[in-house]
Amino acid sequence: MPRNQQILLDNRPQGEATVDNFRLVTTDTPALQDGQVLVRHHYLSLDPYMRGRMNDSKSYAASQPLGEVMIGGTVGEVVESRHPAYAVGDKVVGMGGWQEYSVVDGNTPGMLRKVDTTHVPLSAYLGAVGMPGVTAWYGLVKIIAPKAGETVVVSAASGAVGSAFGALAKARGCRVVGIAGGPDKCRYVTEELGFDACIDHRANGDLKSMARALKEACPDGIDGYFENVGGYILDAVLLRANAFARVAVCGMIAGYDGQPLPLQNPALILINRMKVEGFIVSEHMEVWPEALKELGGLAASGKLRPRETIAQGLAAAPEAFLGLLKGKNFGKQLVKLV
C-alpha cells in the first residue's frame, strides 16, 4: 500500500487563520478490508465552509477535530478495490479530505460516487457539477424560485457557487447581477459568465456606495438575493429589495473570523414581507440528482465552464486556502495532487 501525505488541523485559529494551524504528515495507508476501495485523489476542493469548521464553536456542522485530516471534497481514481461496484480505473468523487489517498467503505451510502468524464472534466465535479453547483441550484430553485424577468443578485459572483448561480438564473430568463472584488473579476463575470452587470465591492466599500451601485445595476429593484458574504453588502441589498423578495443565505464569509455581523435595518425584512432562509446543501440530498443533471447539461454544452485556480501539490493547500478566504482565487479553487 502507498505512503500517504496528509494535512491535519493542528490547532484552532485565534482570529484569522494562518498556515501554522495546519500540519503536514506522512503515514502508511492501511491494507484494504472487504468492501473497501483505495482512491488516489487527483484534485482536492478548497471551500469557504472549511474555515467555519476550524472553529470550536456552535455552527451548522460539527467542528473539525484536532489532529485529524482536514475535511474536503476530492475527485480521483480507484487504484485498488475489494468492492464489486468499483473497478480499478473508475473515476470517483467523494469527501476524501486533505490527503493524497483515501480508503473508503464502498457500502456506506453517499461516500463515493462514480462520475463520467466523457463530456465533463473530472475537476468540474468539485465545482460546477458538484457541491458548489448544487448549492447554487438549491438556493435559486428552492428558495428564490424566480420568475422570468425578475432580478436576482449573488455575492462572490466569480467563485464556484456564484458562476453556477449565474448560468442557472440566465437559463430561467432572469436579469442577473453579480458582486465581486476588483475590475478583473467583474469583467470576467459579465464577459465570460454572461451576467447582465457586476458591482465591484472594492470600489463600493461602504453601505451608501454599494446601495447606490445596486440601484444603478437593478433599476427594477431586487427580487432574489443569494448571500455568500454578509455585512454591509446584505444591508445594501435589503435597501434595494422589492416587496416579497427572497434571500437564500448560504454563507457569511465576512464573519468567519468570529466577529458578529449585525444588521443595520432588519425592519426592512418586515416592511418588504421578505423570505430569508438559510440552508445547508448536504441536508437536501434528495435534490442532488435533478440538480446535477441540469448542471451537467450546462457544463457539457459549454454554458457553464467557469475558471479554475489550481495550486500544485498537497503542501500548497494551506496557503491556497488562506488566499481563497481573501478572494485571491479566480473561480473554483482546487489543489492538483497528481
84 and 55 in contact (C-beta within 8 Å)?
A: no
Mean pLDDT of the chain: 94
From 234, 314, 305, 220, select the one nearest 266 (Cα to Cα).
Answer: 234
Considering Cα of 195, then 199, then 200, then 205, what sign does the dihedral take?
negative
Residue 254 pLDDT level (bands cut at 50, 70, 90)? confident
Residues 56-91 as b/e (b if ≥16 CB within 10 A, e otherwise) read: eeeeeeeebeeeebbbbbbbbbbebbebeebeeebb
Examine the domain organization and report whether 116 and 180 are in the same domain. no
Q: What is the CATH number for 160?
A: 3.40.50.720
Examine the domain organization and report whether 27 and 121 are in the same domain. yes
Q: Which grid coordinates are listed for 3?
A: 505512503
Task: Centre a 10 Å sphere on the Cβ of residue 229 and count the other Cβ atoms it contains.
Answer: 23
Angle at which helix 207-217 crosses helix 232-240, to 10 degrees, equals 40
Q: What is the CATH number for 315?
A: 3.90.180.10
> What per-residue confidence (pLDDT) applies to 260?
82
Please tell me whether residue 111 adopts helix, strand or coil conformation.
coil
37 and 87 in contact (C-beta within 8 Å)?
A: no
Examine the domain organization and report whether 62 and 160 are in the same domain. no
> Is residue 195 one of the residues assigned to a domain?
yes
Residue 332 pLDDT level (bands cut at 50, 70, 90)? very high
* Pairwise CA distance, residues 47 & 228, whole Å: 12
Q: Measured between alpha carbons, how far apart are the two ends of the chain, in Å?
A: 17
> Is residue 298 one of the residues assigned to a domain?
no
Residue 305 pLDDT level (bands cut at 50, 70, 90)? confident
> What per-residue confidence (pLDDT) applies to 119?
87
Examine the domain organization and report whether 24 and 150 are in the same domain. no
CA angle, corner 134, sides to 70 and 138, nearest 5? 120
* Pairwise CA distance, residues 338 & 261, whole Å: 40
Which residue type is seen at 8? L
* Pairwise CA distance, residues 112 & 86, whole Å: 10
| pLDDT tens digits, 156-201 | 999 999 999 999 999 999 999 999 999 999 999 999 999 999 999 9
| pLDDT tens digits, 35-83 | 999 999 999 999 988 998 998 877 767 789 999 999 999 999 999 999 9
Q: Write down the residue that cell numbers 457500502 correspond to.
A: 107
Examine the domain organization and report whether 142 and 277 are in the same domain. yes
Give how many domains the chain has, as a whole number.
Answer: 2
150 and 131 in contact (C-beta within 8 Å)?
A: no
277 and 245 in contact (C-beta within 8 Å)?
A: no
Q: Which domain holds residue 104?
A: 3-127+306-336
Examine the domain organization and report whether 166 and 45 are in the same domain. no
